[in-house]
Amino acid sequence: MKLLVTGGCGFIGSNFVRLHLEKNPQDELVNLDKLTYAGRKENLADIEGNKNYTFVQGDICSRKDVAKAMQDCEAVINFAAETHVDRSIEESGAFLQTNFVGVKVLLDQAKEQNVKKFIQISTDEVYGQVVEGSSGESDRLDPRNPYSAAKAAGELLAMSYFTTYNLPVVVTRSSNNYGPFQFPEKVIPLFITNLIRGKKVPLYGEGKNIRDWLYVADNCEAIEAILQKGKAGEVYNVGGNEELQNIELTKKILAELGKGEEMIQRVTDRLGHDLRYSLDCGKIEKELGWKAKTAFEKGLKETVEWYKKNENWWKEMVKE
């Protein structure tokens, strides 16, 4: 198979590229990435010499870049996205451009080039906050910030191409990923890198908001299963079954780094901060046989160790 991965130099994308080439050494993989602040070629430095790997610097919003990168590809996995909610609240324009217009450019080319599978990577945030129970794939979408609204728009557009043009689209909605190579604006790497440098960690409000945590390697295994066995026109929830209040998460990170609660700095809560996300993952477990394997304590320990050992990777990105 020849495969196009967009945003392959980002956090989840780079982890997937590495996993896929390990599992499928005979496949060709093209990585199209714009190399924004969160996409770094260094994330895949260890596979640059692989004869079946090709890096193309380009923008998914550019028809020319996409047409060239997608040539002869049988499948497309779109990781490329603006992702940080706080940034979307400050300025939403780039989120709409990449997460909606960029998806349209990819879909048009996939249709034109007769791609056999198009996987749109989305997020549990499109469901909005879930006070009780868990979100199933057929539940109403209710995004409540510009980031999740743009992601919802992108996946709805993708599904419209399945219905209208019979383009074999599959959508994944995953919970909060964590692990190696995550840009240190997200909560877990931000807190880890702050504590390594002796800085306090900024906790929104009382820290009562709840998120489900999914180790990035488990998510990549799910995407691999969807690539191989996922049905066109379907949506699959991908969760870690590890729900934690943000205050609980913070205490676990502090404990892992041997720090006390005096290192917590309360900050003004995020605008429109969703209380809780929760996914029902019964569908992917039953139909594709996937289930998250990494317990949060194990995944967190491995993540902390990675950031300790790879200070050269993140030290220039963090604010002093």
Structure confidence by residue, pLDDT tens digits, 117-142 = 999 999 999 999 999 999 999 999 99
276 has pLDDT over 80: yes
User: Average of pLDDT values for 208-234?
Assistant: 98
* Overall number of domains in the chain: 2
pLDDT at residue 38, as a whole number: 85
Q: Tell me, yes or no, whether 165 and 92 share the same domain.
A: yes
Q: Tell me, yes or no, whether 136 and 200 share the same domain.
A: no
pLDDT at residue 109, as a whole number: 98
pLDDT at residue 94, as a whole number: 86
Task: Indicate which residues carry an active-site annotation.
Answer: 124-125, 147
36 has pLDDT over 70: yes
Q: Tell me, yes or no, whether 266 and 163 share the same domain.
A: no
Q: Token digits for 295? A: 């317990």
Query: Is 29 a domain residue?
Result: yes
pLDDT at residue 269, as a whole number: 85
pLDDT band of 320, cuts 50, 70, 90: low
Which pTM value belongs to this model?
0.95
User: Average of pLDDT values for 174-188?
Assistant: 97
pLDDT at residue 66, as a whole number: 98
- CATH number for the domain including 202? 3.90.25.10
Query: Is 68 a domain residue?
Result: yes
pLDDT at residue 123, as a whole number: 97
- CATH number for the domain including 40? 3.40.50.720
pLDDT at residue 318, as a whole number: 87
Q: What is the pairing mode between strands 243-245 and 176-178?
A: unpaired
Query: Is 162 a domain residue?
Result: yes
Place of tokens 């964590």: 178
Q: Tell me, yes or no, whether 50 and 75 share the same domain.
A: yes
Q: Token digits for 237? A: 């929830």
For the stretch 78-120, pLDDT in tens is: 999 987 788 888 888 888 899 999 999 999 999 999 999 999 9
User: Average of pLDDT values for 291-319?
Assistant: 95
Query: Is 320 a domain residue?
Result: no
Contact 12, 180 (CB under 8 A): no
CA dist 151 and 84 (Å) reads 12
Q: Tell me, yes or no, whether 147 and 233 share the same domain.
A: yes
From residue 289, how far is each of 135, 242, 286 by CA, in Å? 19, 19, 6
CA dist 179 and 189 (Å) reads 8
Query: Is 257 a domain residue?
Result: yes
For the stretch 44-58, pLDDT in tens is: 999 999 999 999 999
Mean pLDDT of the chain: 96
Q: Tell me, yes or no, whether 187 and 46 share the same domain.
A: no
CA dist 136 and 235 (Å) reads 10
User: Average of pLDDT values for 208-228?
Assistant: 98
pLDDT at residue 16, as a whole number: 98
pLDDT at residue 217, as a whole number: 98
Radius of gyration of the chain (CA): 19
pLDDT at residue 88, as a whole number: 86
Query: Is 75 a domain residue?
Result: yes
Q: Token digits for 148? A: 């999740």
Query: Is 45 a domain residue?
Result: yes
Q: Tell me, yes or no, whether 78 and 36 share the same domain.
A: yes
User: Average of pLDDT values for 183-200?
Assistant: 97
Q: Which domain holds residue 190?
A: 181-211+242-314
Q: Tell me, yes or no, whether 257 and 139 share the same domain.
A: no
From residue 118, how far is each of 13, 57, 88, 111, 282 by CA, in Å? 15, 20, 26, 10, 22
Q: Tell me, yes or no, whether 28 and 123 share the same domain.
A: yes
Query: Is 319 a domain residue?
Result: no
User: Average of pLDDT values for 144-148?
Assistant: 92
Q: Tell me, yes or no, whether 308 and 288 share the same domain.
A: yes
Q: Tell me, yes or no, whether 125 and 196 share the same domain.
A: no
Q: Tell me, yes or no, whether 76 and 200 share the same domain.
A: no
